[in-house]
Structure 1
Amino acid sequence: MVFKQHVSNLRQQTSTVIYVGLGYGLASIYHDLGSSYGSIQARGSLLMFVSTFLTFMAIGGFPSFVEEMKVFERERLNGHYGATSFVIGNTFSATPFLLLISLIPGAIAYYISGLHKGYEHFLYFASTLFACLFLVESMMMAVASIVPNFLMGIITGSGIQGLMVLGGGFFRLPDDLPKPFWRYPLHYVAFHRYAYQGLFKNEFEGLKFSNYQGNGLIKGEEILRDFWQMEMVYSKWVDLAILLGMVVFYRLLFLAIIKTTETIKPLISRLLSVNPRQTFQVMENSQC
């Protein structure tokens, strides 16, 4: 099973090329950001694109995953393996590909654009990108178990992510979000909130930027608190831990849906199936 999923991942070489191309595109647009006042917005836009649109592309693997689900259904009925083995196998087989996507395009975009220097900052950047990609794939697995149709599944997954992006706190700052639905609960449910906060803290903490009027410098912590309205009461590692916790949650949700489906489908089949002898007797009674 793991071998089959590795073969499926090898088919995604086109996706790898696209990710690398986007990495070079980001690097060329945001080349050598510097520490001017204008670079504050530029750094934020770059990090937003990475955590939003690069992860959004993970939806592209939905059709192949639906095909894997069909194969899993047949092999499960034949007794080859169960739902737990399928989820574990998929998790291990998906990890190398997602790591590759996080490291290579991530390194291209990170170093050429001149983000926060230091290998520890890049490792956090790549870890957050990896967690976001893994999270989106896990979420789409849960969607696939409920909406097995290609088109409807992609539309549903895109709609869910679109709402999360809007409530994440970038396009509309947290204090400006309407409280019903958008602030509570969506802003705290959307994984983009924690991706933004972790990446922004990783980038701005410890840096200084030129003031708008050219007098003095602005600390990165002030920018995080006043410009981006980030919560500074906890560290970036908490944000990363929350993202990883969401990955586990969506994987367990997917497993729970499969287990529930395995239990419910036979019951529904029994309820819908009618004994032919009973049907014949009903017809005889109606004729009498």
Structure 2
Amino acid sequence: MHSISSYVEQEDALLGVLTVRETLTFTAKLAFPTGLSAKEIHDRVEDTMEGLGLSHVAQNMIGTPIQRGISGGQKRRVTIGNSLVTLPKILLLDEPTSGLDSNTAYEVLLKIRSLAKSHNIAVICTIHSPNWETFSLFEKALLLARGRTMYLGPTQEVDSYFAALGHPCPTHTNPADHALRLISTDFYQTASSPTVDRAANDELQAAEAGEVAVQRGQLDDFAEAYKASRAENASDNHLSDGLLINHAAKPKLQTNPFTSLVLHTMILTHRNLVNYRRNLLAYGIRVGMYLGMGAMMAAVFQKLPNIDSRINDRLSVHFYGVAFLAFMSVAGIPSFLEERSVLMRERRNGLYKAAPSLLRFVAFLFLSVYAAECQALLIAALIPLFVAALAICAFANGFFMSVQGYFLRTIPTFWRVWAHQIDYETWAFQLLVRNDLSGLVFPCAGEIAARTCQCSFPSSLIAEGQCAVSGEDVIRSLNFSSVSAVQASFILVSIIVVYRLAFWAILARSR
């Protein structure tokens, strides 16, 4: 079904920093990674923009919260263009005019009708409360009420059909509104009124119940009339006339799965690089935030004395660095939710599998930052609501900070055997401490050390006649010596891989 159809949802899932032409071009490349040349893709994109009336805004950005882009009607046409550029045989649209004024709605559907006719595309569309001009653009109409067919046939015959059943359309009334009013039951419900006495209320309920009964009886009459009419006997013809699908049409070129995976990953990575470079709100501010925090930490913790009493200050630097990156990982949730909506739309239309999204982030962040971002992405995938994901991320970061081992060196057994081990902050902190302290020697200072050579950490150098503590002594006292730097790196990478696989699995199962 994916090979011949495309589905347009109610919401516009677009990357705001891309231009109209770039948006359609990336979609065409994903749909045909090897089947079309660059010129063919360019020509198809230009034809789609011209057909949808978007050529004059081809170089305009879609728009972000801080940068104005194209209008709402144009965004709707871009969303539809993402489906039309793949030239499906069947185009499914879920309320394409939702949120648009009547004139814009008419223009959007007129463009769709024109492209559908020129490329022999069958269009199936749900629409609510269209004006008569918009309604007349459709060749066939299907009216449903409570799961039953009230009418199926030519759009131009809706008025005469209900008139023949004794319900002519009043003068100056939109026939589409009249038909929907006849079959609608949403507001025919009994309810008691607290503002009238009981007797009057009983009369009101009885009257409302009578109206509901009449309405339901009317629906039954419409359903039976439809069954008895020529519409039912000719329904197959009605549908076949409007859905002439050439099943012998040339299918999309089949590509080797591995080749397709590599090409899709390259296309998605290219699109992400463009997104990262232009999206100042989501990425530029985060980069500036990290650089600013690095400069602040360098200024505050500069020139730490190389003595044993300041070792804890060094540990604080590394702990704060890991903790800051962990908490700031929530800044990636808004951009992920935007990308997730685009991913889900493209996957539903069969442009690619979820696997390329697993690979496209590689080489963008350092291990500790990457682990924090992976945790945030996993939570956002599980709970795709910004406020809820933000709260859960903050809770998770606070929890893992508590069992990391810096604040509390002796962790209770229950938490140590699992939470401490799966905490990426544990291993990132260990790697930073090892990198900083290995090979250093800290002379023991202070009055007590001058008299008894008592250092802040147990020292193996005192036996050798040195009143000092080595970096390796500090590492051993922190219980970091049982795991080597290579092993800690492997564990951290493993945690990242598990996060990414879980993230990929959730996206793969999402529909």
Fold match, TM over 0.5? yes
TM-score (structure 2 length as normaliser) = 0.42
- 2:475 corresponds to: 224
Give 2:274's aligned amino acid.
Answer: V
- 1:246 corresponds to: 495
Q: Which has the higher contact order (CA 8 A, sep 6+)?
A: 1
- The alpha carbon displacement at 1:151 in A equals 0.7
Corresponding residue SS for 2:469: strand
Structure 1 CA distance for aligned equivalents of residues 482 and 388 of structure 2: 40
Q: Could you tell which deviates more after superposition, 137-146 or 2-11?
A: 2-11
The correspondence for 1:203, drawn from 436, 439, 447, is 436
- The alpha carbon displacement at 1:141 in A equals 1.9
Give yes or no for contact 1:139–1:250 (8 Å, CA) kept in 2.
yes
- Structure 1 residues 117-266: aligned runs within 5 Å: 130-173=366-409, 175=410, 177-180=411-414, 182-212=415-445, 213-214=449-450, 215=453, 216-226=467-477, 229-262=478-511
Give yes or no for contact 1:199–1:236 (8 Å, CA) kept in 2.
no
The correspondence for 1:36, drawn from 303, 307, 314, is 307
Structure with the largest fraction of helix? 1
Structure 1 CA distance for aligned equivalents of residues 270 and 349 of structure 2: 18
The correspondence for 1:76, drawn from 343, 347, 356, is 347
Percent identity over the alignment is: 27
Could you report, residue by residue, the CA deviation over 1:103-131 in whole angstroms, capped at 9, with x for unpaired residues? xxxxxxxxxxxxxxxxxxxxxxxxxxx11
Corresponding residue SS for 2:352: coil
Structure 1 CA distance for aligned equivalents of residues 299 and 305 of structure 2: 14
- The alpha carbon displacement at 1:259 in A equals 2.2
- Structure 1 residues 263-278: aligned runs within 5 Å: none
Structure 2 CA distance for aligned equivalents of residues 65 and 26 of structure 1: 28
Structure 1 CA distance for aligned equivalents of residues 357 and 430 of structure 2: 33
Gaps of 5+ in 2: 1-267, 454-466
- The alpha carbon displacement at 1:79 in A equals 1.6
Could you report, residue by residue, the CA deviation over 1:61-92 in whole angstroms, capped at 9, with x for unpaired residues? 11110110001111111221111122222x24
- The alpha carbon displacement at 1:178 in A equals 2.4
Which protein shows a greater Rg?
2
Structure 2 CA distance for aligned equivalents of residues 54 and 85 of structure 1: 26
Gaps of 5+ in 1: 99-129, 263-288
Could you report, residue by residue, the CA deviation over 1:125-149 in whole angstroms, capped at 9, with x for unpaired residues? xxxxx11111111122211221000
State whether structure 2 residue 277 is matched by structure 1 residue 4: no
Q: Could you tell which deviates more after superposition, 212-221 or 63-72?
A: 212-221
Structure 2 CA distance for aligned equivalents of residues 248 and 135 of structure 1: 9
* TM superposition outliers: structure 1 runs of 4+ over 3 Å: none
Corresponding residue SS for 2:427: helix
Structure 2 CA distance for aligned equivalents of residues 233 and 61 of structure 1: 34
- 1:106 corresponds to: none
Corresponding residue SS for 2:337: helix
Give 1:222's aligned amino acid.
Answer: D
- The alpha carbon displacement at 1:8 in A equals 3.1
Could you report, residue by residue, the CA deviation over 1:132-175 in whole angstroms, capped at 9, with x for unpaired residues? 111111122211221000010111112111111110000111x2
- The alpha carbon displacement at 1:54 in A equals 2.4
* CA root-mean-square deviation: 1.6
Structure 1 CA distance for aligned equivalents of residues 407 and 303 of structure 2: 24
Give 1:184's aligned amino acid.
Answer: V
Corresponding residue SS for 1:240: helix
- The alpha carbon displacement at 1:233 in A equals 2.5
Structure 2 CA distance for aligned equivalents of residues 54 and 259 of structure 1: 28
Corresponding residue SS for 2:510: helix
State whether structure 2 residue 310 is matched by structure 1 residue 15: no
Give 2:439's aligned amino acid.
Answer: G
Structure 2 CA distance for aligned equivalents of residues 198 and 18 of structure 1: 23
Could you report, residue by residue, the CA deviation over 1:193-225 in whole angstroms, capped at 9, with x for unpaired residues? 111222112221211102141441111111222
- The alpha carbon displacement at 1:27 in A equals 0.6
Distance 1:170 1:32, change over 3 A: same
TM-score (structure 1 length as normaliser) = 0.73
